[in-house]
Amino acid sequence: MGVLTLLTDFGLTDTYVGVMKGAIAQVNPMLTVIDLTHQIPPQDIAAARFHLMTAYPYFPAGTVHVAVVDPGVGGQRRAIALQCTNGYLVGPDNGLFSGVLERDPVLAAVELTNPAYWRTPSPSATFHGRDVFAPVGAHLASGVALAELGRAIAPDSLIQLDLPTWKQEGKSLTGHIQAIDHFGNAITTIPASAVSEKVWELWVGASTSPAEQCVPIPGGKTYADSNPGDLLAVIGSHGYVEIACNQGNAQQRLGLAVGDGVRLVLG
């Protein structure tokens, strides 16, 4: 049977994730359901975008990805399902999918207007994850055609997040921190392709302490290229330059936050 992933900001303290899985099982208990994460910071659409974008390539073609970070639930934002080259996306139209769509274009898009595929024709105004997105994803993963789920919408009408990216001027590259992981590694917007096979070092932006601002962070290939407690910058498994601290926490060490600027110098 089909594969379905879940990504939310629901956390694991409450029953929200469990009842979403119950709604999926009511449609088809034979689906393979994989949790990407439920620890997205509350209402943080940009973080959800990053984590979904970096997880998406590692699943079989045809996988259905249900992502629910939805501060506009019950409001005017559209509920959507998208067919891309390598998979399907189900969730709110709030920019959450924009990272995936930069890499895997939309083939077809619908607004979820057919209540026959919802858990109930009168969904909760505060829990579309349970009543709309989870059952729709289950039906889609079970073979229901995208066109059955609602009315077609233009792919170019989908909401895009306006996020800072990176740029290069000569040997100087500037970017921003786009995510911070569980280990305190700060993941920048600078892609691996910009520094691969080059010598480089990196400076963090203005939000860090003055003592650290003037100290370059050397680039390396592995965390072990430095001594315990040392700062270094590496290409992470996600394909971006990240700031790390060997056996430590770079976020805490430098006072880093998402959105902070970084500068990388080649050579």
176-234: pLDDT as tens digits: 999 999 999 999 999 999 988 888 888 886 444 444 455 678 888 888 888 899 999 99
Q: pLDDT band for position 102 (50/70/90)?
A: very high
Say what the pLDDT of residue 204 is: 81
Q: Where do we find the tokens 């330059």? A: 241
Query: What's the one-letter identity of residue 164?
Result: P
Residue 56 phi/psi, 5-degree rounding, is: -50, -40
Residue 202, CB half-sphere, CA atoms under 13 Å: how many?
28
Say what the pTM is. Answer: 0.90
Query: What's the one-letter identity of residue 211?
Result: A
Among 112-121, 150-159, 206-215, the minimum mean pLDDT is found in: 206-215
How far apart are the C-alpha atoms of 173 and 150, rounded to whole Å? 44
Residue 214, CB half-sphere, CA atoms under 13 Å: how many?
2
